[in-house]
Chain A
Amino acid sequence: MSLSLDLFGSLFLHELSFWWVIVPSILLGFVVGAIPGFSAANTIIILLPLTLAMDVEVGLAFMVALYCSSRMGAGIPAILVNIPGTAGAAATPLDGYPMTKAGRGQQALAISFVASTIGGLLTTVLSIFIMPWLAEVSYHMHSVEMIVVMLFGVSLIASIAARDTLKGLIAGFLGLMIGLIGTDHVYATPRGTFGLLELYDGVPLIPALVGLFAVSEAFMIIEQRSILTEKGLNILRGAGWSATLEGVAIALRRWWHITWTGLIGLVIGVIPGAGAAIASFVAYQQSRSFSKTPELYGTGHPEGLIAPESANNGVTAGTLIPMFILGIPGGATAAVMLVVLQYQGVNIGPTLFEQRPEIGYGVFIVMAVTYLLMMVTILPLARYMPRVTMARTVYLAPLIISFTLVGSFVPRDYVFDMFLGLLFGVIGYIGRRTGYHVAAMLIGVILGPMLEQYFLRAMKMADGNLMVLFSSNIGNALWVALIVSVALPFVLEYKRNRRSAAGTA
């Protein structure tokens, strides 16, 4: 399984010839990604009759382009109106939205697009060459290792809590507690469901996402004329192409940051069941831990925006690797793609790369082509999209409420989920008003059930022996890395304080 440069070149030109299907799919992906409740997987399912009727390579180009662009699309409303389109973009507004409020929406979008494109492109190209070794990662990630990976994400709660420790931790633990609603993963015993059958499968993610971010935000913003500050409004009115290009330059200067956070996404993406949400939380937390200016995170810091965006695009290539090598899809969209490929008679496995390289390698090369075309397609939009934020909140707030609440209806067809979205909106509103960070709560809701699932699985296999958590070499190495990454910010801050104290003296 190796790819020569000649083959790479000819496949690249071959995939480029599918631009006519890739470009419309990119635009569709932006729409799908930007609306909470929709996803690339759902859209591929909805358009399945069309996909199955296409030639296998055209169908693949369509699915891959939709998949990649929906990841980027999810970041657009997260940056502009504080509404993450998917859970994978839940860490994006932490620094993206403050930039928008300050009238730097163009720069924020440009940074997000460049980080997503370069992060996605680099990890895709890298995947082509190190695929067999990356596939091994999914073999070695068992329950114990996954617990530590989840804890990397959960430790972001502590980072957020750094500004107001007690409130941050209360919000995070309340989120974790809400995440535990539903039946347990071993005996299916219902817990904390208030007797509601709709909660037996746990708290659905979209209503939580929509409520905590979008609905609560809509109730907050009506106090102002626009979501921008007066100064921000003036800045945006005067902003031209130079602001977009400034965003591009800011992102390009941080190419190394894009690279290593993208790699975090790639490795997490390879692990089946992990996904973009974990990757973006972990990348944000790691970015903050190793930053020289951690205090700027959450205030509109470009690196706080680059980390989740690059990581969640790194996940895209990662989820396809175990699918093509081992036949294990790394996520929901990859699973739907697997079904389509099997319907088309494509045999998944290492031999695919020898027998049908236009499909095996082709899928990753079409991904690279998509990222290149995406840059050309999307960058001009960064110039005009932030204009949305100039709209008066009296018009914007009802639109946000109606469309996002209906979005929470879509995944399960339950009006109950719309009420749940409103309930989370009220909780989020009270939280924002009183200084409880809604992002900490959402991390708990997203990661809580997954953490419990892996924890119970590990304990079940070890007959309840807690020492199982330290029973594997990879797991132990991850534990050390976790402790270092959590402790490092405190050590660095201590050193900085000592240095500044010495300087003052």
Chain B
Amino acid sequence: MTESAASQLQEKCPVGGELIIPVVGLLFTGYYFTTIIGSPWTAQVSALFVGSFLAVLSLIFIVKATTMVWRGEADFGVRGVFNDTDLETNRHWLLLLTVAYILVVEWGGFTITTFVFLTAAMLVLNKGNRPAFIALLAAAFALGGYALFIFAFEVRFPVGPFERLMRWLLA
């Protein structure tokens, strides 16, 4: 590939990322319509109205984007959404840690799981720097959250071993 061809490719607008929302909208509308076939009229009317509009708008956008690619003004790249900054900032690790947090919090309880999540996420984002400060900060927020929400306001946060132990100690 010549240098000019490479720079031309780089200048192309990546529309792949912009197509995610309309495609999701179109697929969801299609799925939604399958769930209302045979339903009473009242269950269909709003969805048919809103869904048709969404489908038409999404199709217009998809045709517009495809035409741009056809003309060579754009490509189907997703650089607008996923790119090198995800790796540089450790965004992917933050997402994985968030999923793990939600999976564990139900039995790990708010305080312990939040402490572990905050410590891990802050360390990952801060590239492992200042571990002692991060551990202290995470502990302060996790315990502060426990004291304010669970102890003071008795809010129904996920309960785990720490909360049970504290309930037993304070009973």
Contact = CB atoms under 8 A, between A and B. Distances in A.
Residue among A422, A434, A456 having the largest count of chain B Cβ atoms under 10 Å: A434
B110 A170 contact: no
B57 A170 contact: yes
Contact of B28 (A177, A184, A189): A177
B153 A459 contact: no
Interface of B: 17-18, 20-22, 24-25, 28-29, 31-32, 35-36, 39-43, 45-47, 50-51, 53-54, 57-58, 60-61, 64, 80-81, 85, 89-91, 94-95, 98-99, 101-102, 105-106, 110, 114, 117-118, 121-122, 125-126, 134, 137, 141, 145, 148, 153-158
Interface in A384-421: 393-395, 397-399, 401-403, 405-406, 409-410, 413, 415, 418-419
A192 interface: yes
Given A170-B61, A191-B32, A394-B122, A430 B20 contact: yes
Given A402-B118, A434-B18, A184 B42 contact: yes
Given A173-B25, A223-B85, A435 B118 contact: no
A380 interface: no
Interface in A244-280: none
Contacts of A173: 25, 50, 53-54, 57
A240 to B, nearest CB: 28
A177 B47 contact: yes
Contacts of A189: 36, 39-40, 43
Interface in A420-452: 422, 426-427, 430-431, 433-436, 448, 451-452
B80 A456 contact: no
Interface string A142-170: 00000000000000000000000011011
6 contacts: A169-B53, A184-B43, A186-B43, A413-B156, A418-B105, A455-B46
A76 B41 CA distance: 44
Contacts of A9: none
Nearest to B31: A192
A219 interface: yes
Contacts of B28: 174, 177-178, 192
A197 interface: no
A222 B87 CA distance: 12
Contact of B121 (A177, A398, A433): A398
A475 B88 CA distance: 56
Nearest to A188: B43
Given A187-B40, A187-B43, 9 more contacts: A43-B153, A46-B153, A184-B43, A189-B43, A193-B35, A398-B94, A402-B101, A410-B156, A415-B102
Contacts of B141: 399, 403
Chain A interface, >50% SS class: helix
Chain B interface, >50% SS class: helix
Contacts of A222: 89-91, 94, 125
A147 B134 CA distance: 51
A327 interface: no
B99 A422 contact: yes
A180 B33 CA distance: 12
Contacts of A193: 35
B153 A422 contact: no
A222 B121 CA distance: 11
Interface string A352-371: 00000000000000000000
A135 interface: no
A460 interface: yes
B149 to A, nearest CB: 8
Contacts of B46: 180, 451-452, 455-456
A434 B35 contact: no
B81 to A, nearest CB: 5
A397 B125 contact: yes
A184 B99 contact: no
Instruction: Please list the 4 inter-chain residue pairs (A to B) with the smallest Cβ-Cβ separation, ordered nearest first.
Output: A398-B121, A184-B43, A394-B125, A173-B54
Nearest to A178: B28
Contact of B155 (A38, A435, A464): A38
B36 A434 contact: no
A401 B121 contact: yes
A466 B87 CA distance: 54
Given A46-B155, A422-B98, A176 B50 contact: yes
A45 to B, nearest CB: 11
Interface in A441-487: 448, 451-452, 455-456, 459-460, 464
A433 B19 CA distance: 12
A190 interface: yes
A400 to B, nearest CB: 11
Contact of A406 (B58, B64, B110, B126): B110
A434 B20 contact: yes
Given A177-B54, A456-B42, A459-B42, A406 B158 contact: yes
Interface string A116-141: 00000000000000000000000000
Contacts of A426: 95
A177 B21 contact: no
B40 A405 contact: no
Contacts of B134: 395
A66 interface: no
Nearest to B83: A433
